[in-house]
Structure 1
Amino acid sequence: MSALPEDFLQFMRDVYGTEAANAWLQRLPSFLEECAERWQLTILPPFENLSLHYVAPAVRADGTPVILKTCEFSDEFEHGLAALRLFNGRGIARLLEYDEEQKVMLLERLQPGTMLESLVPEQDERATSILAGIMRQLWRPAPTEHTFPTVEQLGQGLTQLRAHYAGGYGPFPPRLVDEAMDLFAILSASVPQTMLLHGDLHHHNVLRSGDTWLAIDPKGVVGDPGYEVGASFYNPMPRLLEVPNLEQMLARRVAQLSEELGMERARIRGWGLAQCVRNAWSMVANNQLSKDPHGIILRCADILSHLTV
């Protein structure tokens, strides 16, 4: 087994605790050998930008390129697997094999696999249209019974921000936090139809597959489909730093997504702002500030808060 990226090792220890993470990492080589034997795989070195899961390319005995993904800790695996089964390859990479108990799956490997971020900023309008098209393919009515996290539950995470700062706001602008909390409540209460969503659809989670583009790595979230647009407003990082007129780009994204998804501009803008603030707080809560050292996410939130729609 190839050496794991040091950033991944430290991230796992920070999130799950040193003892638990080290124990899992020690078991990982033998577990991968079992997977290789079970599914007739040659497992290649893992990807470098790992976070909550071990993800590596592999090749099946018949030459089929695949992706192996595993992690025994995160609930995200369970929810992501359930979402992949329901999406069933429509607008997203296909699920080929899985073992829910062992928390491991094999996925279609998209080729050439170019990330959608490669189109930004020069072809941002095209990239936004691709995102909207994938959203329309993915969304479906939420199952009557499910264990997916809901948009309302995710929004409640902002109350932890206030608790973390003893009722204050810390480095966060109070105006943006209050508006984001209000938006989560208001938009969730007025949802026209609750849908199963990808939950983290942005420019790094859409890859080129032949002559089309497909999503990867769904979180599996249930709620207002408008929530899905949020992640696209603070991505792709760090390429947004290269945009000469970010205000103009975000305003055009609001207008374009409203047109292509048939949603009110105010709803698109609102979910964009709410998700920017929530994601910025999530980075603080999970010790991931290094992902946004320039504070671009809160800058996007501020731009959206002043946008007239």
Structure 2
Amino acid sequence: ATPRLILRTWTDADLEPMSAIKKLATLWDLTNIQPINNVLWNFVAKATQNDSTPVVLKICRSKKNFDLELQASKYFIKIIDYNTEHNALLLNQAIPGDSLKSQEKNLIAIYVDIVRNICKATKSAIINNNFPHIRDWLSALDQARNNKIIPEILLNKAIVLRDNLFVSAQPDLLLHGDLHFENILQHHDTWIVIDPKGIIGELEFEVAKFDFDFNNPKNFHNQVKMLSAELDLDLSRLTD
């Protein structure tokens, strides 16, 4: 049975995931459905299809996020099937599925290869209003003035920095939008990305999601320099 703990933040206004899971299990011949416990916003579970194929069932809580991920999938991930009635995606399961966070060596080399592959895959993407822009995300800084959660001095500094970066922005690309280590999984002898957000912006924004070692300034600066050199990025924009 599906633990209701996973669905505790879903409201009556959302989909009815418990019912949807049963319907999708029948539709796609899924068994051994095992929810992934560290995912709280959407419902994500490992499962077996046709008694043999490892898959992942994902039910998006937001219709908007489902539509974005479905559009972005052609560039980032392989979708086996989807169901618009339940905002559901059926995905290939990464085997063994270890995240890049589990690697102790070659982190930057693997990450750089992933970013280069993304750039190749999205090279033909049409930049239009189907995907949100970084500007849309960072408009939250302006809205934050009203809730007083962020200290004013820090908020003002962030807004000035954001505006300066936008003025000198590099060419727009279609980005994954959340390329941290937990979203990069080992699949046999290669690495794949999951959970693409699908956002328009410059490459420095994509790489800024790298899990930098902020606790060690020397390591942090070395990581930034290596990523900038390997991907031909603007070092100052990445550090800002």
Give the TM-score normalised by the residue count of structure 2. Answer: 0.88
Q: Secondary structure at the match of 2:44?
A: strand
Q: Which residue of 2 aligns with 1:263?
A: 233
Aligned pairs (5 A) from 1:120-139: 122-123=104-105, 126-139=106-119
- Measured in 2, the distance between the counterparts of 1:127 and 1:69 equals 28
Residue 20 (str. 1) matches residue 13 (str. 2):
yes
RMSD over equivalenced CA pairs, Å: 2.2
Q: Which residue of 1 aligns with 2:132?
A: 149
Pairs aligned (count): 237
Find 2:186's aligned residue among 208, 212, 215.
208
More helix by percentage = 1
For the 8 Å contact 2:46–2:93, the answer to whether it is kept is yes
Residue 174 (str. 1) matches residue 167 (str. 2):
no
Q: Secondary structure at the match of 2:209?
A: helix
Deviation at 1:101, TM superposition (A): 4.2
Deviation at 1:193, TM superposition (A): 1.9
Q: Which residue of 2 aligns with 1:228?
A: 206
- Measured in 2, the distance between the counterparts of 1:130 and 1:146 equals 31
- Superposition misfits of 4+ residues, deviation over 4 angstroms: none
Alignment CA distance shift 1:173-1:210 (3 Å):
farther
Q: Secondary structure at the match of 2:182?
A: coil
For the 8 Å contact 2:31–2:51, the answer to whether it is kept is no
Same amino acid, percent of matched pairs: 30
Residue 107 (str. 1) matches residue 91 (str. 2):
yes
Deviation at 1:74, TM superposition (A): 5.1
- Measured in 1, the distance between the counterparts of 2:167 and 2:126 equals 19
Deviation at 1:29, TM superposition (A): 2.7
Alignment CA distance shift 1:149-1:101 (3 Å):
farther
Give the TM-score normalised by the residue count of structure 1. Answer: 0.70
More strand by percentage = 2
For the 8 Å contact 1:188–1:223, the answer to whether it is kept is no
Q: Secondary structure at the match of 2:55?
A: strand
Q: Secondary structure at the match of 2:208?
A: helix
Q: Which residue of 2 aligns with 1:70?
A: 59
- Measured in 1, the distance between the counterparts of 2:63 and 2:161 equals 28
